[in-house]
Chain A
């Protein structure tokens, strides 16, 4: 099914009695939808509806290609703040990412630590719920507390509450320059402590990541003279951790971290774990991964485990959440099991927004 406008989409969902699987670019979906679900493509909802550079706002169809949007914004030297990743390569998928997919997964790259996730930049949505009702929430202005915030609810709902047709974002200017600081040779606990010292400094670090093979990398962004100053001030602030190499041109380093390049082509299950940064080293010790990367100052762990490993069995109870991102995970559910009270609320919301239980059925438990 390939609706070309909201009315067609609404009609489809009014009539649908059997499960549908919503497909944007097909690049980043996590977990399976029940077998036999009818594919519903969103590419009919492509294109920019409104772009006001002077107001830092964008409204676009949910089926718009992420790359097209990025190109359009680049013309005005602006961007989506949250550094949307492209997971097609690491997940071995063919398609091209759409805005709706980015929103449905609440995706975010390394800049998450400073600029927030996708949901933090979202200011409006239009969607059609599972009963075929067209709903709008939020709008095109940056500050809006009118009524319940369904914009946040839709972000990261993985298509279980509605089919997104339009999304609105606040944007940021692309900074004139960036500098990347490299520190060699830490163990993960020291790296986390280094990243905490960096992110707790006034030098506006916009990314902090660690790989055992390449050490800790930090990023500052802004006007050229400012980042030059901040990079050297930061290096001085962190001299306890060793001498930093400062690079002026390392966009590809960050693109690789964002898109999980180190794990492309590596065999094994890939898990995504969100924890308090200081818990990262303990998680690594329990998981004993084949390979790993820390992002968000240690708050996000990407763990490569032997095929068919249930990470949650290794970790036991912990504060945070683990998502099976790639692989079979020993049959573990892809999404972190929730507490009973939250399951009740989640099921209640899904029943309201998707009373026929047809939208991406099977995903998110």
Chain B
């Protein structure tokens, strides 16, 4: 993975840039000593790191606007950052960039239960949005696995999903409005506590734009009433194909579970060693969760059982209590930790049509043999969003490159069967160079054109999303 060559003139101007930023922000909000900026050199894609020129930590929209106006005037690249949990390198800095972190913008600005929304500053963590409204019986639906740490700003930038989006949708379906600061410092309100747009759907465009169109400082989010209850079942199968067919049958039967999670044998074995959740010894297992009153849950689980039995499961465990539910989820929720206990891993995020599942799993197995690297599959089966975890040894020379090549082959396969490179993590730098696999030049050009409109100088997170050679002529205008 390559990053563009840093602009030496900007690096040389660091003292005056830092002095300029210091005039715009409180004293403690500009970091420029190496020891202070080190935590910002990478995000959760820790394989890549680069010290930024400086880091700013504004507290208000006006401060964000002041910083961007300054950077715009001096053509300094800006890398926006939420909580730094991106698995795609979405907030990886360049040496000539100012990292703008919204981590200190954590206030709840308004909660409105009759109209079912909350307005927050976007540095607030995902889980603390729900925490702010749950006493009144509400929750914020998108629930990425990193929800304890990840910020709403990053959720909006990547259009994050989560285990429960089969029923509730992803971030874009739960976002009503934003305050956006453009690279030139212009502050815009898009949408609000009402539905749909009176003009073009700019909100839909902003969501998932990976910090390339502007910095979202405030967000109006839809909140939903909590269901009366929820309970999962665990179903074990002796073949991946059978598990896949069962998923399809559940969906066709008109049941809409809140989550359908899938784990394959390597993942089951690893999590069993790690978390001892008591999972059955089988090739594939599904965790299917449904919601409603006790009676409704019983009814749906009975239907699911009937469907599952047609596929001769090797195990069927229905939760009857909160404790049993927790036990069923334990292994799934420990899966990433369990894999991390065995080796270094890279987590992929391609999405495939559910019908292609058996083929894709078989091909991943063959590729695993070919590359000599282990892989475990855990994913959201209801919507085809896969998370293959490729195991490698970061200390072994060449292993990371091998792992990346394997990962790229899997993502190419996802596209080949009709899917996409990323379902919820975003492109960042990680999948940037594969964009031409999924998009024709004209498709990419249309997206580049949109960035031209919002950020004509290509200063905001410009080395992300688009292959460097594709964006080269545009980025050159900023130097």
Contact = CB atoms under 8 A, between A and B. Distances in A.
A binds B: yes
Interface string A132-161: 011111011111111111111101110011
B249 A145 contact: no
A152 B450 CA distance: 13
B169 A229 contact: no
Interface stretch (B316-324, B362-370, B431-439): B431-439
A77 B251 contact: no
Contacts of B60: none
Given A342-B199, A352-B450, A352-B452, A319 B194 contact: yes
A149 B208 contact: yes
B193 A226 contact: no
B200 A55 contact: no
B205 to A, nearest CB: 5
A51 to B, nearest CB: 12
Contacts of B145: none
A199 B116 contact: yes
B273 to A, nearest CB: 30
Interface size for chain A: under 10, 10 to 19, 20 to 34, or 35 or more residues? 35 or more
B187 to A, nearest CB: 8
A137 B440 CA distance: 10
A342 B188 contact: yes
Interface string A325-353: 00000000001101101100110110011
Given A147-B465, A341-B188, A120 B200 contact: no
A196 B112 CA distance: 11
Contacts of B248: 54-55
B200 A176 contact: no
Nearest to A112: B195
Given A129-B446, A353-B449, A149 B204 contact: yes
Nearest to A337: B198
Nearest to B351: A141
Contacts of B451: 148
A323 to B, nearest CB: 7
Interface stretch (B27-35, B277-285, B377-385): B377-385
Contacts of B398: none
A143 B165 contact: yes
Nearest to A147: B447
Contacts of B422: 144-146
Interface in A227-273: 229-230, 233
B173 interface: yes
A17 interface: no
Nearest to B214: A345
A54 B252 contact: yes
A253 to B, nearest CB: 22
Contact of B201 (A134, A156, A299, A323): A156
Interface residues of B, number: 97
A142 B112 CA distance: 30
A149 B420 CA distance: 13
Contacts of A196: 113-116
Most B Cβ at <10 Å: residue of A129, A152, A156, A172: A152
Contacts of A77: 254
A296 B114 contact: no
Interface in B245-282: 247-249, 251-256
Contacts of B420: 139, 141, 144, 146
B200 A346 contact: yes
Contacts of A342: 188, 190, 199, 202
A226 B228 contact: no
A87 to B, nearest CB: 16
Interface in B416-453: 418-427, 431, 435, 438-440, 442-447, 449-453
B256 A202 contact: no
B215 to A, nearest CB: 14
A71 B422 CA distance: 33
A2 interface: no
Interface in B88-135: 112-116
A345 B115 contact: no
Interface string B286-311: 00000011011001100100000000
Nearest to A150: B446
A5 interface: no
A14 interface: no
Contact of A174 (B112, B165, B254): B254
Interface stretch (B5-13, B338-346, B352-360, B399-407): B352-360
B188 A136 contact: no
A157 B198 CA distance: 10
A345 B202 contact: yes
B23 interface: no
B471 interface: no
B326 interface: no
A176 B354 CA distance: 24
B292 A226 contact: yes
Nearest to A144: B420
B194 A276 contact: yes
B196 A156 contact: yes
A174 to B, nearest CB: 7
B385 to A, nearest CB: 4
A119 B204 contact: yes
B199 A336 contact: yes
A274 B446 contact: no
A149 B205 contact: yes
A90 to B, nearest CB: 19
A186 interface: no
A89 interface: no
A229 B293 contact: yes
B199 A320 contact: no
A117 B208 CA distance: 18
Interface in A267-321: 274-278, 296, 299-300, 319-321
B337 to A, nearest CB: 23
Given A145-B208, A174-B254, A364 B200 contact: yes
Given A156-B196, A276-B194, A349-B453, A142 B383 contact: yes
B475 interface: no
A201 interface: yes
B196 A176 contact: no
Contacts of B374: none
Contact of B443 (A135, A225, A226, A276): A135
Interface in A164-186: 172-176
B254 A175 contact: yes
B352 A141 contact: yes
A25 to B, nearest CB: 21
B375 interface: no
B35 to A, nearest CB: 35
B391 interface: no
B453 A352 contact: yes
Of all A-B residue pairs in the complex, the 6 with the closest CB atoms, nearest first, are: A152-B204, A321-B198, A336-B198, A54-B248, A173-B254, A348-B453
Interface of B: 112-116, 137-138, 158-159, 161, 165-166, 169-170, 172-173, 182, 186-190, 192-205, 207-209, 212, 225-228, 247-249, 251-256, 292-293, 295-296, 299-300, 303, 351-355, 380, 383-385, 418-427, 431, 435, 438-440, 442-447, 449-454, 465
Interface of A: 52-57, 76-77, 106, 108, 112, 116-117, 119-120, 129, 133-137, 139-153, 155-157, 160-161, 172-176, 193, 196, 199-202, 204, 222-223, 225-226, 229-230, 233, 274-278, 296, 299-300, 319-323, 335-336, 338-339, 341-342, 345-346, 348-349, 352-353, 364-365
Given A54-B355, A150-B450, 13 more contacts: A141-B351, A143-B380, A143-B385, A145-B426, A150-B205, A175-B254, A202-B137, A202-B225, A223-B300, A274-B195, A276-B194, A341-B186, A352-B453
